[in-house]
Structures are given as structure tokens and as C-alpha cells.
Amino acid sequence: MTTTPAVAELPARRRPRPTSSAARRKDTLPGILMAAPGVGALAFFVAVPFVLAIVLSLYNVQIASPRPARFVGLLQYERLFTDPIVSGPFFRALLNNLTFAVFVIPVQTGLALLLAVLVNAKLRGVAFFRTLFFMPVVFPMALVAVIWRLILDRSGNGMLNTVLHVLSGGAFGAHDWLGSSSTAMASIIVLSVWQGAGFQMVIILAALQEIPQERYEAASIDRASTFQQFVHITVPGIRNTLVFVTLLTTIFAFRVYDQVYILISTAGANEEATQTVLYQATSSIFDTNNLGRACAITVVFFAIVMVITLVQRRLVRQTEDGA
């Protein structure tokens, strides 16, 4: 007498048919064609100029000079770190860049997160505030710098000086915000945060809208406060976006140039307290006509920013793994 098994054997799962090499080639070709314009533009506008900068940094090149370029090897890099005339302004500009980044990255990211949470609320007229907060991003930096030049004007008729004079009952006098070494960099930091926070706000807002509302409803049933919901639902839900925004803000903070150049050239901002590495690189071209030194500054600065970005990314990855 044969016994039937208590559980019938399940039919064998069909294995996916292996993809033929011809089918893989058929899928690969459209992908290459679609990626080609972006890769080509990246190579033409980023890779090729960077390689050219490395090559030119090895020569003594002067623009519009009848003398031919002269190969000097690593002399430009050596002078950048050992010659006080060259290394002094370079390290001072690098310190200004680091100071700018240390303040802008957390303040701008935190402000963008706060604005994104506010405009994500279902309130009347929230569309108006979304437009209002994003509007500075649309303005070109030249226009933004001109507006803030009027705000930070050193005379008693400057907008900021006038407001502080009225609020202090006449006790606060005129102050040269851009000319003073103690407030020049702070003024540019405030300008940059005001102009750039709206862009990060839009990115974070898109991530906030992807969080399921059921999580907040469940937290409300459990009587979680608004702050507890923010800490345990909102922040973990947009963690990857915050990492991306932080890295993006870091890159933007180190490449600061437009507002510094405009405010120094038109508003008389304190050059020593506000010049950045990119500003010094352009000054090497326009002031001393030394293209090789400018390229050496650019290459060294690129390496420094790359190391900082990789270390920052590594620290964030370790935090994610340990969380």
C-alpha cells in the first residue's frame, strides 16, 4: 500500500531564460546613445579643461605675450607652498573658503530644512510662500550682489544701517559692513545663505512629500508630539536627501566666487577678509598675467575639495552603517 505525502510537491519554479548576447547588445546600444551627449559634454567641459589646467600649470604662460611658454615643471606648485609672496595670499584665501564653508553648510542646510517643513504644511497661501522663498534662486548673482550692496551700504543711508539706527533709538551709527575685516565675511555668508537656501528647500520639499502620511497618522494616534514626529519620522525619512543636500552645499560653498568678486570690485569689500581661492586664481590671470600660477592654484584647490568631499562622504556612510 502506497502512502501519499502529506504535502504535495510544489512544481519546480521556472528559471528565467538566459539573455542572449544579441539581446544584451540590443539593450546596450540605446543606453550608450542616450548617455553619449551627457558623457560627451562632461568630458568636453570638465575633463578636458582640467587636464589642460594640469598641463598649463607646468609652464610659465603669459596671456597675449610674445614670449613663448616656458616649461618650469613643478615650480608653480613649489612657490605656492614655499614662497611667502605667493603662499601667504593662497593660504589666507583658503582659510576664507574654509570659514565660509563651515558656517554656510550647516546654516543653509538647516534653514532649507526649516523652510521645507513650513511650506509642506497644508496652510492657506502656502503656494505664495513657496514662490517667495524660491525667488532669490532665480535671480542672477550679479543682481543679488547689487541688492545687498544697497543693504550693506557703509553710509548712514544704507538700508541695514538705517534700520539699526531706528531700532536702537539713534545709538547705532553707520558701520562699514563690507569694508570692516570683522564683518565682511559674515556679510557675504548672510548674502549667500539668503540666495541659496531656496534651492535646497525645493529638493528637501520633494523628499518630504514622499513620506507616507500613514506614519504621521499612526504617530498621532500614539500621542507623539510634533517634535517627536519630526525627529523619528521626518528626519529618518529624508536622511538620504539631507546627505545629498549637504554634499551639494559643500561643493557650492567651496566654489564661491561671484558675490565676492562683485562686492570687492564695486562695493569696496575688504579684499583680504573676503577673497577666496577662485578669486585669487582669477587675480593671478588679470593682475599678474600668470596663467600657469592660476592653473596650479586651481589644481591644488580641486584636490583639497575632493579630499574634503570624500572624507565627508565617508563619515556619513559610517554613520549610516552604524545607525
306 to each of 81, 99, 110, 160, how far by Cα in Å?
Answer: 19, 17, 23, 38
End-to-end CA distance of the chain: 60
Lowest-confidence range among 15-19, 28-32, 293-297? 15-19
Q: In whole angstroms, give the CA distance from residue 210 to residue 64.
A: 55
| Cell 596671456 found at | 63
Complete DSSP assignment for 286-311: HTT--HHHHHHHHHHHHHHHHHHHHH
Which amino acid is it at 44?
Answer: F
Ramachandran category for residue 169: left, alpha or beta (phi over 0 → left; psi -120 to 50 → alpha): left
- Record the cell numbers describing residue 37, joined without a space: 551627449
How is the chain split into domains, by residue range? Answer: 37-151+179-322
- Record the cell numbers describing residue 46, joined without a space: 570638465
| Cell 599678474 found at | 288
* CATH entry, 37-151+179-322, from 1.10.3720.10, 3.30.1220.10, 3.40.50.10260, 3.40.50.10490: 1.10.3720.10
**Per residue in 181-240, pLDDT tens?**
889 999 999 999 999 999 999 999 999 988 888 998 898 888 888 889 898 999 888 988
Torsions phi, psi for 64 (to 5 deg): 60, 30
**Per residue in 272-292, pLDDT tens?**
888 999 898 888 888 888 888
With bands split at pLDDT 50, 70 and 90, how would you rate the model's confidence at 22? low
Continuous H helices in the chain: 21-42, 48-56, 75-82, 84-120, 126-138, 141-151, 159-167, 184-208, 213-221, 226-229, 235-237, 239-254, 258-267, 271-274, 277-286, 291-322
**Per residue in 110-155, pLDDT tens?**
999 999 998 888 777 788 888 888 888 888 888 888 888 889 888 8
Torsions phi, psi for 87 (to 5 deg): -70, -30
